[in-house]
Amino acid sequence: CDMGGLENLVANTAYLKAQAGDHKEMRRRRRSLALPKPEQCSALRFSVGNDFEALCQQQPIGKRLFRQFLRDAAVPEYLAAVEFLDELAGWELAEAGTKDKARQNIINRFCKADSNSFLTFLTGGVAERCKVVTEKDFEEVVKGQVRDATRDFLRGNPFTEYQNSPYFDKFLQWKQYEKLPINEKYFYEFRTLGKGGFGEVCAVQVKNTGQMYACKKLDKKRLKQEAGEKMALVEKQILEKINSPFLVNLAYAYDTPDHLCLVMTLMTGGDLKYHIYDVGERGIEMDRVVYYTAQIATGLLHLHTMNIVYRDMKPENVLLDSQGQCRLSDLGLAVELPNGKIICQKAGTSGYMAPEILKMEPYRMSVDWWALGCSIYEMVAGRLPFKDYKEKVQRDEVARRTFEDECKYTHKNFDALTKKIINLFLKKRIIDRLGCNGDDPRKHEWFKSINFARLEAGLIEPPWTPKPNVVYAKDTGDIRDFSEVRGNINFDAVDQKFFKVFSTGAVSIPWQQEMIDSGLFEELNDPSRVESSSALVTA
Ligand code: ADP
Ligand code: MG
Ligand code: MG
């Protein structure tokens, strides 16, 4: 009997079963949960700050409760404002066939002075323009000025009233709950999914919600021995800042006696390198290449608008989720470059590095677009522009080809438009390169089949979906174990302080989303429920 095979089978079965969700144990656990009491949350009223966007738009629970406040306030203006914003969001995501109708509906309901839902808070020029808006200036007036004015209106009195309402008290209870200390007991742990430089990545599940995540465990001793602490902290701090459907998000950061742990979006569909080389014929079909590249480009732009260069763009770092949507992962090489700042440091993977980075010339975001060009080429052809698959070649030779050679397209799947966009990403000079002159590469005609607003909202069906009962990861036995860290390593006060800085617990946006998605938000808000659990406490 093959013990390794058996072990892998057992590990896979438990992992798949957890994903399918058997929640008896979870329901039992949930009965003993309760929000902190309001009087325990008063200090938070000051520390949560006064930022309307953060409190009422970005944080999912904040957004929910603010919306509930507006709906329940019984002020027609408030209701009209919320409904207008919702309808406008719906219009932005509408497909071509229904878009005209949605626009006309918005004009009739919110822009006509005799309508019940007319936006009566509008004043001055905006109000005048709104009343006479037509389909021609709809974008400028309604999507632009009227929306801005509506948000400004909500930011005023409604926001202040909300902050003095029971809805905001409830929000503070959730914010207090969000601070709960996290340790390994918070999760069930499942099989190893992969191996990184400082430790393994395994699947975990939050006991109270059933939410699955990937947990990247960094060995504290190894970090210290190889001076990796600073890099680990940079990765964590960048991960917690970003929030995009096309980047893995960080949900928790905590530590155990031996590890620092990053709990991130679980991607069960395997990485694109695996899909290029290990599934079917080498390469990926063109419709999938366009779809993945559209998501990757949007993810890169999200990083770039936050002044972050990714520096490790390659198919291996693009992971698929269970639906077949992709996200960029492994932000270990990413670096934040405040406006105007440039860098000359060599970083990246051989075969994907742009001429400027190989020459250690100053660069910013340009290197990511070059690497994206290499990655599109690789998805189509199953090799890199300047390096054949499994070719044994010196880094210097790859660099020489990168500087001097023209990209050649011998593979049968390259069409004219695909060659065109790759050539634009592989321009040797930064100023000639697509994406490097304040232009948006997503406007290139290669992407003409993609509606990016709908793509970002997750409304475009992926061209390929992973099979639900397959584990797209190497067998557990084939993921090489780590050798023990040798030598005697002790942690001093500086190390302990670093561990503390790293271990900040739950990250607001993903944590709040998890509470909503799992139904725990509704459950703990239920007034009858609060009584029964406090009864439990006094019993
Ligand atoms: P390192 O930076 O040390 O290389 P990675 O972040 O690349 O670590 O993670 C190592 C491996 O773990 C990856 O190659 C992949 O197989 C797996 N992995 C990483 N993140 C996830 C995730 N979010 N979901 C599923 N598997 C993941
Ligand atoms: Mg990696
Ligand atoms: Mg890394």
Q: Give the pairing type, strands 187-195 and 200-206.
A: antiparallel
DSSP for 30-43 reads HTT--PPPGGGSTT
Residue nearest to atom 6 of ligand 1 (CA): 330
Taking the centre of ligand 1 as the mean of its atom positions, its distance from the CA of residue 201, in whole angstroms, is 6
Rounded CA-CA distance 422/441 in Å is 11
Rounded CA-CA distance 208/186 in Å is 8
Q: What pLDDT score does 530 carry?
A: 55
Task: Record the pTM.
Answer: 0.93
Residue nearest to atom 4 of ligand 1 (CA): 196
Residue nearest to atom 3 of ligand 1 (CA): 196
Ligand 1 pocket check for 218: Cβ under 6 Å: no
Q: Taking ligand 2, which is a single-atom ion, which protein residues have CB atoms under 5 Å away?
A: 330
Model ipTM?
0.98
Q: What is the pLDDT of residues 276-288, one digit of tens each?
A: 999 889 999 999 9
Ligand 1 pocket check for 264: Cβ under 6 Å: yes
Q: What pLDDT score does 303 carry?
A: 98
Taking the centre of ligand 2 as the mean of its atom positions, its distance from the CA of residue 402, in whole angstroms, is 23
Ligand 1 pocket check for 111: Cβ under 6 Å: no
Ligand 1 pocket check for 326: Cβ under 6 Å: no
Rounded CA-CA distance 111/65 in Å is 27
Q: What pLDDT score does 483 carry?
A: 75
Q: What pLDDT score does 64 carry?
A: 97
Residue nearest to atom 11 of ligand 1 (CA): 194
- What pairs with residue 261 in β-bridges? 217, 254
Closest ligand 1 atom to Cα of 317: 7
Taking the centre of ligand 2 as the mean of its atom positions, its distance from the CA of residue 317, in whole angstroms, is 7
Ligand 1 pocket check for 36: Cβ under 6 Å: no
Q: What pLDDT score does 340 carry?
A: 87
Mutate to test the pocket of ligand 1, among 267, 316, 330, 479 (most ligand atoms within 8 A of CB): 330
Backbone phi, then psi, for 191, in 5-degree steps?
A: -65, 160
Ligand 1 pocket check for 197: Cβ under 6 Å: yes
Rounded CA-CA distance 287/302 in Å is 23
Rounded CA-CA distance 425/403 in Å is 14
- Ligand of minimum distance to the alpha carbon of 219: 1
Instruction: Give the annotated binding-site residues.
Output: 216
SS3 222: helix
- Ligand of minimum distance to the alpha carbon of 198: 1
Residue nearest to atom 10 of ligand 1 (CA): 196
DSSP for 346-367 reads --S-TTT--HHHHTT--BSTHH
Taking the centre of ligand 2 as the mean of its atom positions, its distance from the CA of residue 331, in whole angstroms, is 9
Q: What pLDDT score does 255 carry?
A: 97
- Ligand of minimum distance to the alpha carbon of 216: 1
Q: What pLDDT score does 1 carry?
A: 60
Closest ligand 1 atom to Cα of 330: 6
Taking the centre of ligand 1 as the mean of its atom positions, its distance from the CA of residue 26, in whole angstroms, is 28
Q: What pLDDT score does 535 carry?
A: 39
Q: What pLDDT score does 481 carry?
A: 74
| Closest C-alpha among 260, 251, 194 to residue 230 | 260
Ligand 1 pocket check for 223: Cβ under 6 Å: no
Instruction: Detail the DSSP E strand segments found in 57-199.
Output: 187-195
Rounded CA-CA distance 310/303 in Å is 7
- Give the residue ranges of DSSP H helices in 242-384: 272-277, 286-305, 355-358, 366-381
Taking the centre of ligand 3 as the mean of its atom positions, its distance from the CA of residue 187, in whole angstroms, is 23
Ligand 1 pocket check for 144: Cβ under 6 Å: no
Ligand 1 pocket check for 163: Cβ under 6 Å: no
Rounded CA-CA distance 473/53 in Å is 39
Ranges of the chain with pLDDT below 50: 531-539
Taking the centre of ligand 2 as the mean of its atom positions, its distance from the CA of residue 89, in whole angstroms, is 37
Q: Are 400 and 386 in contact (CB under 8 A)?
A: no
Q: What pLDDT score does 539 carry?
A: 28
Taking the centre of ligand 3 as the mean of its atom positions, its distance from the CA of residue 201, in whole angstroms, is 11
Backbone phi, then psi, for 343, in 5-degree steps?
A: -140, 155
Rounded CA-CA distance 412/435 in Å is 27
CA 174 to the chain's CA centroid: 22
Residue nearest to atom 12 of ligand 1 (CA): 194
Ligand 1 pocket check for 240: Cβ under 6 Å: no
Q: What pLDDT score does 537 carry?
A: 40
Closest ligand 1 atom to Cα of 197: 3
Ligand 1 pocket check for 245: Cβ under 6 Å: no
Mutate to test the pocket of ligand 1, among 192, 216, 231, 479 (most ligand atoms within 8 A of CB): 216
Active site residues per annotation:
312
Closest ligand 1 atom to Cα of 235: 2
From residue 298, give the alpha-carbon distance in Å to each of 206, 319, 440.
29, 15, 10
